[in-house]
Structure 1
Amino acid sequence: MVDYDGRLSSVYTAGRGMSPGEVQRWTAAIAAYLPEERPLTFLDLGSGTGRLTPGLAEVFQGPVYGVEPSDRMREIAAETAAHPAVTYLKGGAEDIPLPEASVNGVLMFLSFHHYRDQQKALAEVHRVLEPGGVAFLRSQFSDQMPDLFWYDYFPSAREVDAAMYRSVDECRTLAHAAGLLAADAPVWVSTENPRTFREAAERLSHRAFSTFEHLPEDELDQGFARLAADADQDPDRRLPVHPAAMLILRRPR
């Protein structure tokens, strides 16, 4: 497990923050699977520093609950991502502090791999979703890993990530066991802004990805030194943007 009350909380916004355009593209991708009626009530499960939470409130015009177990991440969200329709709550995915059938949508944005009991968490998602409600599981999937450029600098990072995430079929099996209907395959969403080599290297230098918490220190030191040197040599090279995978889950009516 990763400690988000420590160093990661202080660097997360710098290393993992989203531009307004990226937030808008994500909320538009989510809205495509929901009814047009407003307001809709949303749960951001594992909301972290609230990088998407206010955007959900803007688009869906209803109360949004950001549930986050890390006290420090939740404090930062309350300070930097406040919104009149957003309430940040202490809680975990396995014990969501909301009533049954109380939300229209649930977003699990790169948080599923942190849940201690994923089966229980999905049962809780089923409980809080209204019948017909939709959950959005944005994750890496071990059988559909993107070819991230920085894997070349950290030899064990790809293996660490593959072990951290479940395959699409494993996620679908867990969802079905929790009573949720899962799509056959994830949808692919392109939302990230293109970055230059230098911009990407500077963003990575904050070590805000949980992957880095599992790598040996000498591999980190050598990898970041090589990355910085290459960024100095070719700072303006545009890096490819990989679409992101999101699995759609529904509570039956």
Structure 2
Amino acid sequence: MGHKRVDYDTTQHAGYAKGRRLLPVSRRTWMRAFRELSGGRRVTAAVDVGSGTGRFTPVLADEFAAPVTGVEPSERMREVALVESAHPLVTYVPGHAADLPIADGAADLALMFLVWHHVPDKPAAARELARVLAPGTRLLIATTFADRPKDLLTYRYFPRAREIDLEVFPTLGDTAALFDGAGFDRAALTEVHHRSADSLAEYTRRQRMRALSVYEHLSDREYRDGMAAMEADAAAETEPRPVESGCDLLALTRR
């Protein structure tokens, strides 16, 4: 079963920045993970591929004290990034994974955060990432792998979202094999546990913004029913409990 591509210019840009905003504790978690998997080399230039509203682009700039280029095909998402995620070391430019406006070997680090499953031509993107990364540097891919599913809170309220994710996300084996053919070696794989919200009530407020791309594949009724159940549980929450989840972070080294 195929799923339509998510049009970020039409829908997702509106609530994405607020709905997916990083909590300070999660920002620190991801900064630490990026540093640990970066390979230990000095980073002088990085690229955030599919940078969206710039949720992680300034994180890279702060952690590595280096200029970062955020490459994003959606004009609306870039417009939000320029307002919400401006940073003196960050530049946001149009482009996509299979056609990066970056010179050969000019990047010491590349990040794709929940982007890989959206890329239409994955072989072309893998070759392009190999072109822009200098030998010995790292590509970091944060994603869900279909053969390493997570038990996300979202699935409790939107059961079909699990099925959709298993169809949309690639497997670890297929991903590693594709990048091996493009000139990358698998370096590390870790599961990063991060906080999405400090309470179910906060999580519910975020979900009202429909900032998860999987919601674009659900019917209006599925979304309404799931939100009604979530709203009821949030209203009954007497002691706030953080909502946390796991995400795989795969590090690949450019040969």
- TM-score, normalised by the number of residues in structure 1: 0.93
1:89-104 correspondence to structure 2 within 5 Å: 89-104=93-108
**Counterpart position of 1:77:** 81
Matches within 5 A, 1:64-143: 64-143=68-147
Q: Specify the alignment match of 1:2 in structure 2.
A: 6
- In structure 2, stretches of 5+ residues that fail to align are none
Question: Does residue 236 in structure 1 map to residue 201 in structure 2?
Answer: no
Out of 148, 165, 169, the residue aligned to residue 161 of structure 1 is 165
Q: Secondary structure at the match of 1:226?
A: helix
**1:179 aligned residue:** 183
Q: Secondary structure at the match of 2:62?
A: helix
Q: CA–CA distance in 1 between the matches of 2:195 and 2:107?
A: 27
1:46-65 → structure 2 map (5 Å cutoff): 46-65=50-69
- Between the aligned partners of 1:206 and 1:194, the Cα distance in structure 2 is 14
Mapped partners of 1:58, 1:237: distance in 2: 31
- Offset of 1:33 from its aligned partner? 2.9
Q: Which amino acid in structure 2 is aligned with residue 99 of structure 1?
A: A
Once residues 122 and 162 of structure 1 are traced to their aligned partners in structure 2, the CA distance between those partners, rounded to angstroms, is: 22
Query: Helix, strand or coil: the match of 2:37?
Result: coil
Which structure carries more strand by proportion?
A: 2
Q: Which amino acid is the alignment partner of residue 144 of structure 1?
A: R
Unaligned runs of 5+ in 1: none
Task: Summarize deviations over 1:114-172 as a string: whole Å, max 9, x none.
Answer: 11111111111111000001000100111111111221221211000111101111111
Taking the aligned partners of 2:176 and 2:244, their CA distance within structure 1 comes to 26
User: Residues 71 and 93 of structure 2 are in contact (CA less than 8 Å); yes or no, is this contact kept in structure 1?
Assistant: yes
Deviation digits for residues 81-108 of structure 1 (CA, Å, limit 9, x no counterpart): 1111111110000000111100000000
Contact 1:180 1:250 in 2 (8 A): yes
Contact 2:43–2:108 at 8 Å: present in 1 too? no
Aligned length: 251
Q: Supply the distance in 2 between the matched residues of 1:222 and 1:33 (Cα, whole angstroms).
A: 40
Q: 1:170 aligns with which of 169, 174, 198?
A: 174
Per-residue CA distance 1:47-96 (angstroms, 9 max, x = gap): 00001111211221221000000001011111121111111110000000
1:23 and 2:50 are equivalent in the alignment: no
2:216 is equivalent to residue 213 of structure 1: yes
Distance 2:43 2:166 in 1: 38
Deviation larger for 146-155 or 191-200:
191-200
Q: Which residue of 2 aligns with 1:12?
A: 16
Alignment partners' CA distance in 1, 2:183 and 2:91: 27
- Whether the 8 Å contact between 2:58 and 2:87 is mirrored in structure 1 is yes
User: Is contact 1:38-1:62 (8 Å) kept?
Assistant: no
Q: Is the 8 A contact 2:196 2:203 kept in 1?
A: no
2:158 touches 2:223 (CA, 8 Å); kept in 1? yes
TM-score by length of 2: 0.93
Partner SS for 2:244: coil
2:212 is matched by which residue type in structure 1?
Answer: F
* Structure 1 residues 196 and 19: CA distance shift in structure 2, 3 A: closer
Contact 2:195/2:243 (CA < 8 Å) preserved in 1? no
| CA apart distance, 1:192 | 2.2
Aligned to 1:188: 191
